[in-house]
Structure 1
Amino acid sequence: MAFMSHREIKLLATELYTHSITGLQWIGSDAWITDHSLTDSEGHKILVGSLGFTSPKAKISGLEEYLKQLYPSQFPDSQFVREFWEEVFNCSLNRTVNTQKQPCSGHESLQNIESQFTDVSELRFTDNVYKSVYAVAHALDMLIRCDNDQLSFSNESCIDPKHIKPWQVLQYLNTVNFTTKKGERVYFNKNGDTPARYELVNLQFTIRGTMEGRTIGIFDASLPERNQFVMNNIPVVWGNGLTEEVPVSVCSEMCLPGTHKVLQKGKPVCCYDCIPCPEGEISNVTSIHCAKCPPEYWSNKQRDACIPKEVEFLAYDEILGLVLVLFSLLGVFLTMVTTLVFYCHRETPVVRANNSELSFLLLFSLTLCFLCSLTFIGRPTKLSCMLRHTAFGITFVLCISCVLGKTIVVLMAFRATLPGTNVMKWFGPLQQRLTVLVFTFIQVLICILWLTINPPFPFRNLLLYKDRIILECDTGTAVGFCAVLGYIGFLAISCFAIAFLARKLPDNFNEAKFITFSMLIFCAVWITFIPAYISSPGKFIVAVEIFAILASSFGLLFCIFIPKCYIILFRPEQNTKKHIMG
């Protein structure tokens, strides 16, 4: 870009030509882009293809005729007219000053003379002077005619033409609005500016071998925005005429959406690398920085748009969820089969040996334990979050209470066989039912308090993963969740301790041994559950919790009921009171 006068650009073009520097695309200022004298410079070819905005070319009617009818006698005191006349006609208007030239008559004619003074083919800035003079004339006309429809000056009704002040003219000048003979409207905006009008000029060679500026486009700010800049159907010459490709003003290609600019060290600001936006950020326009997506959105693969994050939870239609459902239903099926076997053989010694009523209640609670695991699968809602934890806590306490009741029965039954003891009357069927009811009611009370004070609720976890949202159930308060698990753990440990004490009782079929082993499995599962629950990410927390429920339920079912079913179905000879009593 050359912002300089026509004299300076001539010197620059000559130096560039001397050093054979070609192929540059020049942007010129209006001071030289339309100057005809550029053709006279030695390296003017360097400037072919230059572009620049300049004032529009205008034709002032009557100006050429007026200039060619001028004579020195009309401007006797003008030094410019006298020197111009003597130079054009090579004569002297004053003999005493220059005796070597023939005298001028002062009546020579400019009609057939070609000079810059009479050349009106490139009237650009002259037209601005022409419109300025007319604008002042219109302002003075309104001021003298006392056109005060919109203006007033103190208490004066009109202005004295002999005492006009500049500020008065200025106020009328702001309201000027007229159209020139060529149809151009002249007015001023609120800032005192006229609408910008420019021509886009391209320096090209003519057929005569000279260089001239050709108008290839027009800009007019007074027109509607979409029509302000219009290109003419004239081919554009680029870069000294050595290329037909449109040059670019940067040394790097424009960055595509999804990338951002990284400036190259030690190079101009137009030199940069296009680097893809990081994950979670986008750019849909050419910019230096990428914009971060909102918290619940993530960038697409192209990094040019933010899309909603995928919401993840343990669903029924995925493989992990389907496997857990199948195991849960398998547990329900095996429990129902066991219940059917016990019901069909309810009068046999094996079934009646240790309170068949508690056995059926235990099987019922195990069925509920298997089914409650299904509430952990699927999209978490406010209802499902409250149901899954309370159902799990209550059904497991019911199950452990039944096991604890059976364990106490075994221990009391042995004590009752000792001479002088009658403890069974203190722990008969009624007391066993009350034990199960009281233990379960305590857990129900804990769950009611939990749901009343701060219940579980669905929670959108945005922190665990950057690209997706984990939809999970927040426990609401850790105290409530820990109280439910702690109460289950307390009953399980108590049951394990009592069963451990009764494991060496002398019966051939001592159920305490199987209860001990089942409680050992139960405690082991839930002890390992705690670190696995804390360290598991996302939906796998739910899977770990379901696995712990299923594993402990299967442990109770297999350890307590499978040995009895084996005797009932495959060893009927051992299903006698004599064999059981040893």
Structure 2
Amino acid sequence: MRFAVEEINNNRSLLPNVTLGYEIFDYCSDMLNFPAVFDFLANNGSVLVKTGLNSQYKVISVTGPFGSTPTITIAPLLMSKLIPMVTYGASSIQLSDKARFPSFLRTIPSDKHQVQLIIQILQTFKWNWVAYIGGDNDYSNDAFQFFVDRIGLTDICLAYQAIVPRQSSNIGEVLNKIATLNVSVVVIFALPEVAVPVIQMAINTKVRNKVWIASEAWSLNQQLLGITGIETIGTIIGVTLNGLWTLPGFDAFVQKTMARGETWSCSNGQQMSAVETCNQFCLQCSNESSKDITSEDPTFSFPIYSSVYAVAHALHQALECNTTSCQRAGTVYPYMVFEKLKRMRFTLQGRIIEFDASGDPPPQYDIIAPVLVCSSECKDGFRKKQRGIHKCCFDCELCPNGTFVNYTADPETCKGCGKDEWADEGSTSCTMRSIEYLHYREQISVGIMLCSSLVFFLSVAITILFARNCNTPVVKSAGGKMCFFMLSCLTVACISVFFYVGEPLMPNCMLSNPVFAVFYTACLACLAVRSFQIVFIFKMAAKLPRAYDFWVKHNGQWLVIVTSVVIQILLCGIWIGTGGPKPFNNTSAYKDRTIVICDMGNLYAFLTVIAFVGCLSVACFIFSYMGTDLPKNYNEAKSITFSLLIFFLAWISYFTAQIVYKGKYIQAINAVSVLASLYGILFGYFIPKCYIIIFTPEKNTPAHFQTCIQSYTKTISSM
């Protein structure tokens, strides 16, 4: 039922823009089922006894229940409201009485046709001495009465008739009576709860050479196929519904649903989300496996499937729908759906679905002789697991995700798929994985490349601006020639961003993070040296004249910068030499896709590279903080702190994303982290100086800087 409803809801031409909802209730017993029916009839929690046909109820149709007796018990409550009741297993003859059951319809034929077919079988083989075994319910009783009436017109004699209640202890007596009367043909017109114990007792008591005629309720019962010794009791001839034994897509739907259900919380009496279960509440769903469901008796699969579709087609007409929209805006009442159902005729899976004046479908039956084997053949996607010493006896085990079973080559083994292949559970072949990486044509890739190009052009523009104003105090205080070195490093670092986009190849991976690490290290070293140098000049030069002279004489600033860059180059070399960045095919993140990214390789070496960058950034922060009380023109604490804050946030975000996200866009996140670090230096350090040069040139004069220094000197002297 769920399969049919979800299939309909995903069908754009049937009930377009209309979603079917449903509630499923277990039929506990004839008495305990009334609360569920009253719930169907409720309106705002109340059930009104006297209501017209234009009254609204919680439901517009009821599908089921399965058996005849349960249906006959609750049907009057629905018939009085003309709520359509479409059942798939209630085959009692009396349900064709339209005076008692006006809005009743079914997708299983009336038992009178099945009884007539059984009588025809008896006449064909000239079997005229028969016994009849039934259960204590309307299904068996109505069929028996019709059987007795019909054989009275033939030469068939009813030698013995027995009613066997559920959990009866007199089955042995029944079989003894049949043996005493020398009856060779036994008609068992009963539900599996009665038929299976009778057959089991016949095996246990060594009944031999009988012909057993099975009604459609148990003729395909899967439990009987595995009973040891069933082949000894004689021949079983079964009557079954002519229908589809396998619904296309049903097994895959069950496997997908049950696989998702493994994560549901069904224990300790906790109910699951109504959304998750399509408003079917369940307390112990995880007790069932997909195999338990797909190996059930398939007799009633199509009747259930077609009953849901019948209601959907009727509602489609009641709402005046076409293939794209529904025209009726008013309320649709149950009797309107019933009026459409009576005249319904449509094709489903190649079969015509319609109802006669009694609400019954055209009778179509098959006659089968069940194959007497130890184990029936496994369905697609299940491997054979031998049970005991005989190869004919086996269980069917569902192949898990990532495996498949080839029945031609080896039906007993679930073989693993190749590295570049995938398969759902229950597969008979593997499918090639799709390859995914960050393409140049994707919008995010285009955005990253545009942002990188902007860094490049901004760096070039700032270089030109600084070159034209290289003798001004702002450029000199920013570092002078060191600024051009920093801007050159930023330019090269931004070019490395382009290697994050496109198919990850070995050159791309080698020229992405390592290149950025080296040239960003150079920029940080310049900032650290520049901050230290200003603090040293203002606060330490007078106290440590020899150290200052040594620093100036031996170009201490460039010595530190070159040393830092050389150390980072060595660290990157160790990183690359011990397993550096390389293309990596991630096949574990997604079952059907291979994500191609640049793997960081040796994690410890990579973290060492990042740690060295972090140490330089901390040094920058310390030296800039030491200069917070220096003249404003030389105080870079805010600018450098802003740049470093952007750097830390960007890379913390990247490492967090790398832990929780395994898709192709991790390359984009890495590239964004690099860009953020570069933009942090541009906008935190260089852009403010460009603003002074362009918009406040009066502050870019020696006099202004001298005034700031004198003010700082006076402040220090007064302390």
Task: Give the shorter-chain TM-score range.
Answer: 0.5 to 0.7
Question: Please, which of 507, 516, 534 is the counterpart of residue 392 of structure 1?
Answer: 516
Question: Please, which of 648, 669, 678 is the counterpart of residue 544 of structure 1?
Answer: 669
- Which has the larger Rg? 1
1:15 corresponding residue in structure 2: 127
Q: d(CA) in 1 for partners of 2:464 and 2:698?
A: 20
2:485 corresponding residue in structure 1: 361
Q: What are the Cα deviations for residues 224-268 of structure 1, in whole angstroms up to 9, with x where unaligned?
A: xxxxxxxxxxxxxxxxxxxxxxx9999644676996893225986
The amino acid across from 1:530 in the alignment is F
Report matched runs for 1:417-428 at 5 Å: 418=542, 421=545, 423-428=547-552
* 1:337 and 2:461 are equivalent in the alignment: yes
1:412 corresponding residue in structure 2: 536
- The answer to whether the 8 A contact 1:407-1:498 is kept is yes
Q: d(CA) in 2 for partners of 1:517 and 1:545?
A: 20
Q: d(CA) in 1 for partners of 2:560 and 2:513?
A: 23
Please give the TM-score of this superposition, normalised by the length of structure 1: 0.52
- The answer to whether the 8 A contact 1:508-1:579 is kept is no
Alpha-carbon shift at residue 421 of structure 1 (Å): 4.0
The amino acid across from 1:403 in the alignment is L
Q: What are the Cα deviations for residues 281-311 of structure 1, in whole angstroms up to 9, with x where unaligned?
A: 77898999998744422459x9786432111
Task: Name the SS of the counterpart of 1:14 in structure 2.
Answer: coil
Alpha-carbon shift at residue 512 of structure 1 (Å): 4.1
Q: What are the Cα deviations for residues 456-489 of structure 1, in whole angstroms up to 9, with x where unaligned?
A: 3222111111110111222221111111111111
Question: Please, which of 560, 568, 576 is the counterpart of residue 685 of structure 2?
Answer: 560
- The answer to whether the 8 A contact 1:412-1:427 is kept is no
Question: Please, which of 346, 351, 355 is the counterpart of residue 475 of structure 2?
Answer: 351
Task: Name the SS of the counterpart of 1:556 in structure 2.
Answer: helix
- The answer to whether the 8 A contact 1:257-1:285 is kept is no
Task: Name the SS of the counterpart of 1:469 in structure 2.
Answer: strand
Q: d(CA) in 2 for partners of 1:402 and 1:488?
A: 12
Pair 1:493–1:16, CA change in 2 (3 A): farther
Question: Please, which of 273, 288, 296 is the counterpart of residue 264 of structure 1?
Answer: 296
Alpha-carbon shift at residue 492 of structure 1 (Å): 0.7
The amino acid across from 1:519 in the alignment is L
* 1:572 and 2:697 are equivalent in the alignment: yes
The amino acid across from 1:264 in the alignment is E
Pair 1:16–1:563, CA change in 2 (3 A): farther
Task: Name the SS of the counterpart of 1:439 in structure 2.
Answer: helix
Alpha-carbon shift at residue 543 of structure 1 (Å): 2.1
Q: What are the Cα deviations for residues 328-386 of structure 1, in whole angstroms up to 9, with x where unaligned?
A: 11111111111111111112111122431111111111112211122222211223222
The amino acid across from 1:470 in the alignment is I
Paired residues, number: 353
1:448 corresponding residue in structure 2: 573
The amino acid across from 1:385 in the alignment is C
Q: d(CA) in 1 for partners of 2:122 and 2:497?
A: 90
* 1:486 and 2:611 are equivalent in the alignment: yes
Return 5+ residue gaps in structure 2 as ranges.
Answer: 1-120, 133-154, 157-238, 253-290, 300-369, 383-397, 709-719
Return 5+ residue gaps in structure 1 as ranges.
Answer: 1-8, 21-41, 44-246
Q: d(CA) in 2 for partners of 1:420 and 1:313?
A: 57
Pair 1:392–1:14, CA change in 2 (3 A): same
Q: What are the Cα deviations for residues 197-225 of structure 1, in whole angstroms up to 9, with x where unaligned?
A: xxxxxxxxxxxxxxxxxxxxxxxxxxxxx
- The answer to whether the 8 A contact 1:296-1:309 is kept is yes
The amino acid across from 1:324 in the alignment is I
Pair 1:446–1:19, CA change in 2 (3 A): same
Question: Please, which of 634, 644, 648 is the counterpart of residue 519 of structure 1?
Answer: 644
Q: Could you say what the CA RMSD is over the residues aligned between the two structures, in angstroms?
A: 4.3
- The answer to whether the 8 A contact 2:405-2:415 is kept is yes
Structure 1 stretch displaced more, 324-333 or 507-516:
507-516
The amino acid across from 1:401 in the alignment is A
Alpha-carbon shift at residue 16 of structure 1 (Å): 6.0
Please give the TM-score of this superposition, normalised by the length of structure 2: 0.43
Task: Name the SS of the counterpart of 2:515 in structure 1.
Answer: helix
Pair 1:533–1:501, CA change in 2 (3 A): farther
Q: d(CA) in 2 for partners of 1:383 and 1:248?
A: 67
Question: Please, which of 507, 511, 526 is the counterpart of residue 383 of structure 1?
Answer: 507
Pair 1:271–1:475, CA change in 2 (3 A): closer
Question: Please, which of 328, 335, 344 is the counterpart of residue 452 of structure 2?
Answer: 328
Alpha-carbon shift at residue 387 of structure 1 (Å): 2.5
Q: d(CA) in 1 for partners of 2:126 and 2:444?
A: 80
Q: d(CA) in 2 for partners of 1:399 and 1:423?
A: 25
Task: Name the SS of the counterpart of 2:584 in structure 1.
Answer: strand
- The answer to whether the 8 A contact 1:258-1:303 is kept is no
Pair 1:535–1:257, CA change in 2 (3 A): closer
* 1:532 and 2:564 are equivalent in the alignment: no
The amino acid across from 1:313 in the alignment is Y
- The answer to whether the 8 A contact 1:258-1:283 is kept is no
Pair 1:529–1:427, CA change in 2 (3 A): farther
Q: d(CA) in 2 for partners of 1:311 and 1:266?
A: 40
Report matched runs for 1:17-56 at 5 Å: none
- The answer to whether the 8 A contact 1:282-1:290 is kept is yes
* 1:296 and 2:408 are equivalent in the alignment: no
Pair 1:271–1:469, CA change in 2 (3 A): closer
Pair 1:270–1:252, CA change in 2 (3 A): farther
Q: d(CA) in 1 for partners of 2:497 and 2:629?
A: 35
- The answer to whether the 8 A contact 2:541-2:548 is kept is no
- The answer to whether the 8 A contact 1:263-1:271 is kept is no
The amino acid across from 1:389 in the alignment is N
Task: Name the SS of the counterpart of 1:378 in structure 2.
Answer: coil
Q: What are the Cα deviations for residues 135-158 of structure 1, in whole angstroms up to 9, with x where unaligned?
A: xxxxxxxxxxxxxxxxxxxxxxxx
Q: d(CA) in 1 for partners of 2:544 and 2:518?
A: 39
Question: Please, which of 486, 496, 500 is the counterpart of residue 372 of structure 1?
Answer: 496
Alpha-carbon shift at residue 572 of structure 1 (Å): 0.8
1:310 corresponding residue in structure 2: 434
2:200 corresponding residue in structure 1: none
- The answer to whether the 8 A contact 2:380-2:428 is kept is no
Alpha-carbon shift at residue 279 of structure 1 (Å): 7.5
Alpha-carbon shift at residue 578 of structure 1 (Å): 1.5
- The answer to whether the 8 A contact 1:310-1:468 is kept is yes
Q: d(CA) in 1 for partners of 2:610 and 2:544?
A: 41
Pair 1:270–1:248, CA change in 2 (3 A): farther
- The answer to whether the 8 A contact 1:385-1:458 is kept is yes
The amino acid across from 1:454 in the alignment is G
Task: Name the SS of the counterpart of 1:464 in structure 2.
Answer: coil
